[in-house]
């Protein structure tokens, strides 16, 4: 299937009932908090929906930056700031666990390939 055919099958319709304006708040060190403010299709604030807060940071590893992010269950910016450290610790622990699981799977795959290289004399 060509790229043009694949693009033709993707639905690029904008969901006008789920629009948000994004604001970014940072301490220029570790914290980046995105506030997603619900808006109507005309751009006016939709007061019937609650804003969302997303925390984001990145850690440096030998392989490069590792993005860490999490939704912050906050009603306002002050709450989001207070929740940020614990949310990032939890998200980081989840990333570490996923990486460990990927390493286990790779080791199992490697062991399976190594086992298939056994040569039995006489066969």
User: How many structural domains compose the chain?
Assistant: 1
> Whole domain around residue 60: which residue ranges?
13-115
Per the domain annotation, does 8 fall within a domain?
no
Is position 4 within any domain? no
Residue 7 lies in a domain: no
This prediction's pTM: 0.73
Determine the distance from the C-alpha atom of residue 83 to the mean position of all C-alpha atoms in its chain, rounded to a whole number.
17
Is 110 among the domain residues? Answer: yes
State both tokens at 71.
Answer: 């939704």
Residue 3 lies in a domain: no
Q: How far apart are CA 70 and CA 85, in angstroms?
A: 11
Summarize pLDDT for 33-84 with one digit per residue, the tens. Answer: 999 999 999 999 999 999 999 999 999 989 899 999 999 999 999 999 999 9
The rounded distance, in Å, linking the Cα atoms of 62 and 66 is 10
């Amino acid at each position: 299937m060509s790229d043009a055919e694949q693009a033709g099958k993707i639905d690029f319709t904008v969901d006008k009932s789920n629009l948000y304006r994004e604001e970014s708040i940072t301490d220029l060190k570790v914290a980046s908090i995105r506030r997603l403010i619900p808006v109507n299709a005309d751009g006016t604030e939709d007061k019937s929906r609650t804003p969302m807060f997303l925390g984001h940071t990145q850690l440096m590893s030998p392989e490069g930056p590792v993005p860490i992010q999490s939704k912050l269950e906050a009603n306002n910016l002050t709450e989001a700031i207070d929740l940020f450290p614990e949310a990032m610790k939890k998200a980081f622990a989840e990333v570490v666990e996923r990486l460990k699981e990927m390493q286990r799977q790779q080791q199992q795959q490697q062991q399976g390939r190594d086992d298939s290289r056994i040569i039995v004399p006489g066969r």
